[in-house]
Amino acid sequence: MELQDSFPHEDLPTKSELIRLSTGAFVRLQLKSGARFWCRVKSRQKTNGCFDGISDDSIGPIKRGDAVEFKSKHVLEIV
């Protein structure tokens, strides 16, 4: 599974929102194929800047409940 980097546009989360991203928050991510899905943040790895999450959708190769590792550059939206 390859995640698409978010492209700069006015609706992206701000840097301060990404810094405050915490456990339990929902984020929208996008696969390279263009499919978007929601993921719940499970933990943050301070050493490499990655987040561990759990998929909340079943889309393409991603099934609900699958583990997902992502960085802030992959986040399209935060709820």
Q: Give the residue ranges of DSSP H helices in 1-79.
A: 15-19
Domain boundaries, the chain: 15-78
What pTM, to 2 d.p., does this model score? 0.86
Torsion, Cα 74 20 46 57, to 10 degrees, reads -40
- Overall fold of domain 15-78: SH3 type barrels. (2.30.30)
Q: Can you tell me whether residue 15 is helix, strand or coil?
A: helix
User: pLDDT (tens digit, 9 = 90+) per residue, 43-70?
Assistant: 998 788 899 999 999 998 899 999 999 9
Per-residue tokens: 78: 């935060």
User: pLDDT (tens digit, 9 = 90+) per residue, 18-39?
Assistant: 888 999 999 999 999 989 999 9
- Find out whether 7 and 25 touch, Cβ atoms under 8 Å: no
